[in-house]
Each structure stands twice: as structure tokens, then as C-alpha cells.
Amino acid sequence: MFNALVVEKDEETGKTRPGVRQIGLDDLPEGEVTVAVEYSTVNYKDGLCIGPGGGLVRKYPHVPGIDFAGTVEASSDGRYKPGDKVVLTGWRVGEAHWGGYAQKARVRADWLVPLPEGLDTRAAMAVGTAGLTAMLSVMALEDHGLEAAHGPVLVTGAAGGVGSVATAILAQLGHEVAAVTGRPETQDYLRALGASRIVAREELTEATRKPLESELWAGCVDAVAGVMLGRVLKQMKYGASVAAVGLAGGAAIEGALITPFILRGVNLLGIDSVMQPYANRVRAWGRIARDLPMEKLDSMITPATLSDLPGLGGDILKGRIRGRVVVDVNA
């Protein structure tokens, strides 16, 4: 038997209740590879799944945890053998399939990638789904022509998980990074990650009817959407791209939206880490190991245990987490 954070649902009241319980290998879902999980993390979707699910959880009882890193314990797939270090992100693990908030997980071999050289399991989860998405965003901006000489790159929701890793990667690659935050107390943290400018959230959360604003940004990684994305699109330089990853600030984009696309040739690139094919995941993890300064990762980490998770799920939904929460499932 081993520990897991299990979310149960009372069918009569519809209320969900997360708690640490003992489960066994026979309880785990089907899959070719059983992994002894070492670390998982807390992402925005985990916050939803620890609570009432927000439409993501298909069946209760449920074990959330959309990402994990650990050691292969058993495998019926030739690509993995016991002792191999692996990382998992995406594929609706932690939503439709039991996830990483347990000391063991069983998944399809196709969903895993080998731990890249240069990362241990804790560092891999300090990056996690949020960091992988940040890297995929930077790669998409590069594919659309972004170079450091083009000017400042904006990162929204900068003190959050995606934003923190995006800030550190972009700065490391030589970009001038302007970090948008609603938490002035995170300024020193963001500057230490490499932000050269802090933009107060209020500067971008008032809708304007102007069809365009001054051209300011050569690129943007946006984790917030809502009114902020509407404003940012109007401030992009000619031909620049926005990598849109999330909607921490709301699902609707507001404003006279068509003008940035027609008059400035702005690109809006949707980035999703969930169904990334194997080759893309391996390429992105390889870039993370190469381009993310590992000494900066430490400043992003809030350590946690399985029993901390019910409280942390609420915190991430309220935008209260700084950087990345790394869950030691064996602590």
C-alpha cells in the first residue's frame, strides 16, 4: 500500500473532498509503465481537480496531479526498464487518468519522456507543466522570427508558474524582459529571474477603445488573457507574435481586436502542452536543460507534501502562488 491524495465525491450533495489515503497497485489505472513517483507539482488545472473538478475530472474517486517525475518500477514496453528516470506532462493525466499525487502511478508508455540529461527529478518538476509550456511558448516565438535585437518581450502573470519560467528562459537567451505582475512585492524576485522592467498589472487591465496603441513589444508570453491580452495585442510591434497559454485573468478578449492583425500583422499563437507529440516534448525538455539557468529554479520553488495539497489547490486558483510548488510525494 502507498499514499495518495484521493478526491472523493459525495453523490448526494455533489461535494468533493480531498484527503491523503492508502491505496494499492491494483487500484491504479491500466498502462504499460508503473512509476515510483518522486515529485509532482501544483498547476492551475490541479487547483481545479483538487476541488470540484471544473469539468476536468471524469470519474471519482480521483487522484489529481497533471505532471510527475520518478523512476520506472515495472514496464511491459520495450522503451522503458526498471530504474529509468522519466517525466510526464499532459495527456489528461491527473484529469481523465489518475495522476502524480501518489507514490506510484501507472500510465501509457507513449505519454512519458526520459528525464533529460542535466535535470534531476526535483528540477524537472520545478519546471513541470508550467515550465514546459513556457519553453514551448519561447520556441513558438522563435519559430515566428523573434530575436533579442527586436526589442523587449512582455511576460504576463509573471510571478506565476508559466510566467516565472518564461522570464528566466527569455532573460537567459538575451532578451530584454518586461514582467507584468499584480503583486508589487514580487519585484525583487522577478528581477532576480532576469526581468529588466516591471509593469504593474493595472497598466494593462483597463480596457481601451483605441484600435491601436504605441508599438512596444517584440514578443509576448501571455498566461492571463482577458482584458490584458486585448491591450497587449494593440501594443505589439509590427509582425510580432503573442504566445497565448492560459486564461488566469478571464476567457474573453476585449477591445477592437481585428486592427492589430490587419494593420500590424500581429500573430496570436495558441500554445497547448497537453497533446504535444513525443518529438516536441523531447526537444522542449532538451532546450529546458540547456537554456534554463538551474540556479534560478531554486528561487521559484515552494516545497510541499501530499497533505498540503488541499490548501494549495485553492491558493493557485486565487493567483496566490509565487513560482512553482514542488510536491515531494514521499515526504
Q: For binding to ligand NDP (CB under 6 A), which residues are involved?
A: 43-45, 129-130, 133, 157-163, 181-183, 201, 223-224, 228, 245-249, 271-274, 316, 319, 321
Exposure class string for 219-236: b at 16+ Cβ within 10 A, else e: bbbbbbbbbbbbbbbbbb
Q: Shortest approach of ligand NDP to residue 149 CB, angstroms?
A: 27
Which helix (H) or strand (E) element contains residue 72? strand 67-75
In terms of Cα–Cα distance, which of 125, 62, 124, 127 is closest to 98? 62
Contact status, residue 197 vs residue 189, Cβ threshold 8 Å: no
Task: Pick the closer one to ligand NDP by CB: 162 or 297.
Answer: 162
For ligand NDP, give the closer residue by CB, 65 or 160: 160
Q: Are 129 and 50 in contact (CB under 8 A)?
A: no
Minimum distance from residue 219 beta carbon to ligand NDP (Å):
17
Q: Least separation, in Å, of the C-beta of 1 and ligand NDP?
A: 32
Rounded to a whole number of angstroms, the minimum distance from the CB of residue 108 to ligand NDP is 19
Which of residues 163 and 230 has its CB atom nearest to ligand NDP in the complex? 163
Phi, psi of 43 (to 5 degrees): -110, 170
Cβ distance to ligand NDP smaller for residue 49 or 321? 321
Smallest gap, in angstroms, from Cβ of residue 135 to ligand NDP?
Answer: 11
Which H or E run contains 266?
Answer: none
Q: In terms of CB distance, is 85 or 201 closer to ligand NDP?
A: 201
**CA–CA gap between residue 162 and residue 159 (Å, rounded):** 8
